Amino acid sequence: MSKRVGKQGRSWQLAGLAVMSLALAGCTGMQGMTDSVLGSIGLMRIPQTERVPGGTDVATWPGTYRGDLPCPLCADPTQNLTLALTLFSDSTYELRSKPGSGSEQLLRGQFTFNANETRITLDPQGQRRSFDIISNTMLRMLDKDGQVITGPEAHRFLLRK
């Protein structure tokens, strides 16, 4: 019987900690304490001010995404178009592309998210290219009409971080 009461007491303690952490979550001066309490019961709080597209953490989605895409305009059809898209947290980008053995081109500008934050679109400098956000580490380049590229080469339009 004492073991049973001990387990129930521990459950009540955890419940109390959870309630206390929820109460403290609104207090800005108590953020460290709240995080400590949440961490002690295996939870993590992500402040709304740091949340961005797709519910991802602001520290994880910016970065450089790279891919070797088919290069239909290259003299040798076996050559790739090397693409590197760097996204910055201020909604700017750098797009580096190098067709086959040609010279690298660099474009800079701004990008926007669609309404449900699953797609980014580059500005006119980036030829309004669109990319689906697959994960924090992967983007999928879309065709010029914003449609998913299909066929045997579709996997080559994925850019990885």
Q: What residue ranges define each of the domains in the chain, with the CATH number in brackets?
A: 2-45 (no CATH), 57-160 (2.40.128.640)
Contacts of 49 (CB under 8 A, 6+ apart): none
Q: pLDDT, tens digit, for every residue of 103-138?
A: 899 999 999 999 988 999 999 999 999 999 998 899
What is the per-residue pLDDT for 6?
52
Output the pTM of the full model.
Answer: 0.62
Band (82; pLDDT cuts 50, 70, 90): very high
What is the per-residue pLDDT for 153?
87
**Average confidence score pLDDT of the chain:** 73
Alpha carbons 78 and 71: distance in angstroms, whole number: 8
Alpha carbons 154 and 148: distance in angstroms, whole number: 8
